[in-house]
Amino acid sequence: MAEPRRPRAATELKRARLLDATEEVMLEEGYAAVTSRSVAARAGINAPLVHYYFPTIDDLFVAVLRRRGEQGVRRMEQALASPEPLRAWWEAASDPRGTALLVELMAAANHREALRAEVGEFARQVRAMQMERLSTLLEEYGLDVREFPPALIAAAVHGLAFGIVQDAAAGYDTATDEAADGMARLVARLEERRRSRAT
Amino acid sequence: MAEPRRPRAATELKRARLLDATEEVMLEEGYAAVTSRSVAARAGINAPLVHYYFPTIDDLFVAVLRRRGEQGVRRMEQALASPEPLRAWWEAASDPRGTALLVELMAAANHREALRAEVGEFARQVRAMQMERLSTLLEEYGLDVREFPPALIAAAVHGLAFGIVQDAAAGYDTATDEAADGMARLVARLEERRRSRAT
DNA sequence: GTCTATATTGAGATAGAC
DNA sequence: GTCTATCTCAATATAGAC
């Protein structure tokens, strides 16, 4: 009785290598440089074989996005559940590689429907987790919910981290060190306050 | 005595039309879709003529960036000098079209040296203006400079506006309305406080 | 300044042998 | 699953007539 074919180990490995290669091309040359040829060369396989694993280039982008997105969700879950949630959140949001990929995926998603939908799913999921957590957390940090609604705080943390990391990576030198220092101290003060408020 | 050739009126007009067309293509299809053909078609001229005005596609990008960047600098200058500087700044930073173009230019600039340098110039210039203004403004708003360094405030306003506008434009629905409302109220409270503090 | 024609390069994708 | 060979299309850019 013939069993349904299972992909061989080598197959999954090659798929992963293709995703890695795609991320590298995106980071080094931008999403527009992702072609079956460029990705294949970097993964050490033949160009037409890319289409065997990912029929279209869009499929490849979506696969990259899913893998990253799921990582991001897991990481944010852990951060929000950690002993110092705000600090962990800030660190997770400040990941340079994730931010650089986000720039590319964001730009690409603005003009590719399949990607746009997928980015939206992850963005909503992460934001919902953050706001849910903030609903009890804000008080612990001694912040007034009416003055600082969860949606505002979440957007601020995200936007601040994104801007600082992107400017730093590009070398725009817009006082990113000062801003990062200022945020680190603000986070430290808030964590301190929460600690001293806990029974 | 032969005078140095001056471009005819029609020439400058066509240049401007090409820049407009380029912005449109970037907004609708992304920076990667900017080609001599796509831009020429939208501007109603022949493709090879694009190369007469802008020898390379990079030159075209740089010209678009300069025009937008100079607009942005002027607008920020006016905002910071207005009667309600923080509100005007927030409104300028929340411009949807400017933000959408910034996404494209940022992504493109990460992999094109000529663009990267140019974006950096404008980013530094704007950030310096903001920080200079904040050095006296923060006190007027009743904010402690040590708690909220100018670089942090500037990065926060920028990042917040960018994130909210981008998510809203893409339709990611990450509670952007709530965040925007929260920020509007925060700005209103601060402007109110500044007014009541003024002699 | 504006056009037609074209050189050159590389893209996505598929056919079909192995 | 993996390869070679190839189709088709479109890109940047230039040459050269007008």
pLDDT band at B1 (very low <50, low <70, confident <90, very high): very low
**Nearest CB to A29: which of B111, B173, B178?**
B111
Q: Which fold has domain A7-55?
A: Arc Repressor Mutant, subunit A (1.10.10)
- Is B96 an 8 Å CB contact of chain A? no
Percent of chain A with pLDDT over 90: 93
CB neighbours of residue A78 within 10 Å: 11
A125-169, pLDDT tens digit by residue? 999 999 999 999 999 999 999 999 999 999 999 999 999 999 999
Cβ contact, residue pair A147, B31, below 8 Å: no
Alpha carbon distance A115, A62 (integer Å): 6
pLDDT band at B11 (very low <50, low <70, confident <90, very high): confident
Pinpoint the residues of chain B covered by CATH 1.10.357.
Answer: 57-198
B83-128, pLDDT tens digit by residue? 999 999 999 999 999 999 999 999 999 999 999 999 999 999 999 9
B120-140, pLDDT tens digit by residue? 999 999 999 999 999 999 999
Predicted local confidence at residue B9, as pLDDT? 52
Domain spanning A57-198, CATH class:
mainly alpha
- Is B188 an 8 Å CB contact of chain A? no
Q: What's the mean pLDDT when you consider all of chain B?
A: 94
Percent of chain A with pLDDT over 70: 95
A88-125, pLDDT tens digit by residue? 999 999 999 999 999 999 999 999 999 999 999 999 99
Pinpoint the residues of chain B covered by CATH 1.10.10.60.
Answer: 7-55
* Token pair in block for residue A41: 């060369």
Q: Angle at which helices A36-43 and A9-29 pack, to 10 degrees?
A: 120
- pTM for this predicted structure: 0.94
Cβ contact, residue pair B175, A162, below 8 Å: no
CA of A48 to C1' of C11 (A): 13
pLDDT at B48 over 50: yes
**Nearest CB to B32: which of A32, A116, A149?**
A32
What is the full DSSP assignment across B138-198?
HHHTT--TTTS-HHHHHHHHHHHHHHHHHHHHHT--SSHHHHHHHHHHHHHHHHHHHHHH-
